[in-house]
Amino acid sequence: MDKRKDQSPLWDVTRLRAQFPILGRTVHGKPLVYLDNAATTQKPLRVLERLDRFYREENANIHRGLHELSERATADYEAVREKARIFLGAKEASEIVFTRGTTEALNLVAATFGRSRLKAGDVVLVSQMEHHSNIVPWQMAAEACGARLDVIPMSDTGELLQNEYEKRLTPEVKLVAVTHVSNALGTVNPVLEMIRSAHARGIPVVVDGAQAVPHLAVDVVAMDCDFYVFSGHKVYGPTGAGVLYGKHEHLEAMPPYQGGGDMIASVSFGGTKFKKPPHKFEAGTPAIADVVAMGEALDFVRETGRERIAAWEGELLAYGTERLMGIPGLRLIGTAAHKAGVLSFILEGIHPHDIGTILDREGVAIRAGHHCAQPVMERLGIPATARASLALYNTREDLDALVGALNRVREVFR
């Protein structure tokens, strides 16, 4: 392998990879090539150490304890709220609600903000490329209120049809829910323009940022979205922790999502008074250690530099696209002009599950299936795709290994 392939003015890739212990392991006797980052990213040592240190040195419940450990854990937990505020460019830390991840955040908004706004005959507008997590909660809210969903169609290349979007912004639409970056296709949607169009008609917008924050710098104030959500585990943090950003006025008006300890100001059998946001949405003991470690991951991304991350991954995406297009019988799925981090494809005559299984034996980890985006597959007339997805620690050598393994797949099915 020509090591010069992965020399970059952006950073020392070898030194960067050394921060991720799992990347040094083998799978089936082969060096691990991890290309399933859209499902979850690997964790740098500093995140693992922060998680370990919390349990070794600080473990206590938060907000209610008067002892040293509780006060320290509370301070560390709440410090992450400010880190998330900075990470998203929000105005106030009180606009940051901790959740278990993107799915819970979307369910929270649908069950509170959504149901309080919807009535019979109203419409929630979603796109054809949404993850199931940004479809099913809205279906449930709409069904409960007598509302319905309408869908923004997409082109064969995997781009939303903006003229069709504008047509669908009718007076019946009470909310738009759209992904920033498609997990199945890698398409980067023009959310800034979409939000402006919706707001011109008084329609609030919820943005699913799960696949965007690992790859792009996000500024929710400049974007002017009403809600923005992401998962910590997609951005080099632990599972079980995520973020919901909501404009202050919305969070103030929304009812609590769950009831229990820590989200109350006072309780009696005659009634309950709730805390102000964000705490009224955080019932019970949260994933304290995971939130604290997520804060370390946000620091890692910020210090690495999101502009540098985007530039490096852009180079990898271009290189990977060129290499894959040279494989006979391979067709890329999702060829939008503006993409981030995803290479979905099919091989003629070979099921994606077979591709994924054989690649695994070669040490190459990808995803195969519908990627919780079945409407995308239905629109494109395919049952599934194989998906290689990129992260900041990937290299051109990883993509060469993918191509080599795919050629072995072709030999097996020749």
The residues annotated with a catalytic role in the active site are: 372
CA–CA separation, 252 vs 255, rounded Å?
Answer: 8
CA–CA separation, 31 vs 50, rounded Å?
Answer: 27
Q: How far is CA 191 from the centre of its chain?
A: 15
CA–CA separation, 396 vs 405, rounded Å?
Answer: 14
Backbone angles phi, psi at 270, to 5 degrees: -85, -15
CA angle 50, 342, 295 (to 5 degrees): 20
